């Protein structure tokens, strides 16, 4: 039986092209040009993470001017009343086919452009019986900003949005109510205090939203304060900036190196 599963998976995956496929490279170059023209950006802007974050495409109208949307995508975004279900930084959007969905962009696209059923469930939840809080986050938050995922492991939510919103996000149940931005430092401090007072907690996953959306100084602040807590053995940063590699700057690497050299016994990953 496992062999049959493996074969089915291999055949399914082989339908999609890899990022090095020549046609995908051409599409990407075309889209990049189109987006740079739209936002008046230059080649050097493209590799600047702050330019990418300043030009996040999170409204239906702008999205429609850059890519052809499929009927189910239009129905979904219409049902969501453009409520921010969609968010993409220019670099990720440049991986999507501007002339409509096909096997070249299906996998990349499906992660960030929601269809009708998703929007119906997330944004019109009162009309459905679907519970989108799959991880029961509502009942596992001892203080604002913390989810106690496992007895020893907590999630620290330091940012209430992402430059790229994924359809599979476990926080999608609260998308409608989030302020979409930096969480107040007082809230973060109280959450860190809660961790400090709970010696059973040994691991912190810093996530959000996406923590790498924060400034380097805020990231350093978080790491310094959490790593100073004696009972914390491991700190992890949950990020999707793999889709925007330019964010991993020299200065960020320096901060991570400094923290790990100061707190040798702790593991930051
Ligand atoms: S928190 Fe993670 S999964 Fe959720 S939208 Fe942001 S990057 Fe995607």
Query: How does DSSP assign 84-106, residue by residue?
Result: S---B-HHHHTTS-TT---TTTH
For residues 43-70, give the mean pLDDT.
Answer: 93
Of all protein residues, the one whose alpha carbon is nearest to atom 4 of ligand 1 is 169
What domains are defined for the chain?
Answer: 2-126 (no CATH), 137-268 (3.20.20.70)
Of all protein residues, the one whose alpha carbon is nearest to atom 5 of ligand 1 is 165
For residue 66, name the pLDDT band (cuts at 50, 70, 90).
very high
Which SS3 state, helix, strand or coil, does residue 236 take? strand
Rounded-to-integer distance, Cα 217 and Cα 78, Å: 38
Of all protein residues, the one whose alpha carbon is nearest to atom 1 of ligand 1 is 209
> Does the pLDDT at position 83 exceed 60?
no
Query: Which residue among 85, 160, 166 has the greatest number of ligand 1 atoms within 8 angstroms of its CB, and so is best to mutate?
Result: 166
Instruction: Tell me what pLDDT residue 52 has.
Output: 95
> Does the pLDDT at position 146 exceed 90?
yes
pLDDT, tens digit (0-9, with 9 covering 90-100), for 175-226: 666 666 778 999 999 999 999 999 999 999 999 789 999 999 999 999 999 9
For residue 50, name the pLDDT band (cuts at 50, 70, 90).
very high
For residue 161, name the pLDDT band (cuts at 50, 70, 90).
confident
Question: Which residues form the pocket of ligand 1, taking CB atoms under 6 Å from any ligand atom?
Answer: 162, 165-166, 169, 171, 208-210, 240
For residues 32 and 94, is the Cβ–Cβ distance under 8 A? yes
For residues 132-144, give the mean pLDDT.
Answer: 87
For residues 134 and 127, is the Cβ–Cβ distance under 8 A? no
């Amino acid at each position: 039986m496992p062999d049959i599963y493996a074969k089915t998976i291999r055949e399914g995956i082989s339908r999609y092209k890899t990022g090095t496929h020549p046609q995908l490279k051409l599409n990407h170059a075309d889209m990049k040009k189109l987006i740079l023209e739209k936002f008046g950006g230059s080649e050097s802007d493209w590799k600047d993470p702050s330019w990418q974050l300043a030009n996040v495409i999170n409204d239906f109208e702008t999205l429609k001017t850059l890519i052809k949307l499929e009927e189910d995508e239009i129905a979904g975004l219409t049902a969501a009343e453009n409520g921010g279900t969609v968010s993409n930084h220019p670099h990720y959007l440049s991986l999507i086919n501007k002339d409509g969905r096909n096997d070249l962009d299906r996998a990349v696209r499906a992660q960030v452009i929601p269809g009708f059923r998703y929007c119906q469930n997330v944004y019109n939840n009162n009309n459905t019986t679907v519970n989108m809080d799959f991880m029961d986050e509502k009942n596992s938050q001892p203080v604002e900003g913390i989810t106690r995922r496992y007895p020893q492991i907590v999630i620290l939510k330091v940012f209430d949005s992402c430059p790229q919103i994924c359809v599979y996000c476990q926080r999608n149940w609260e998308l409608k109510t989030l302020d979409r931005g930096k969480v107040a430092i007082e809230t973060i401090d109280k959450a860190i205090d809660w961790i400090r007072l709970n010696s059973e907690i040994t691991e912190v996953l810093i996530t959000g939203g996406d923590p790498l959306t924060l400034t380097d100084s805020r990231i350093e602040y978080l790491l310094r304060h959490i790593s100073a807590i004696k009972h914390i053995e491991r700190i992890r940063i949950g990020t999707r900036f793999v889709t925007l590699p330019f964010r991993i700057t020299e200065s960020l690497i320096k901060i991570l190196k400094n923290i790990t050299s100061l707190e040798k016994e702790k593991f930051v990953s």
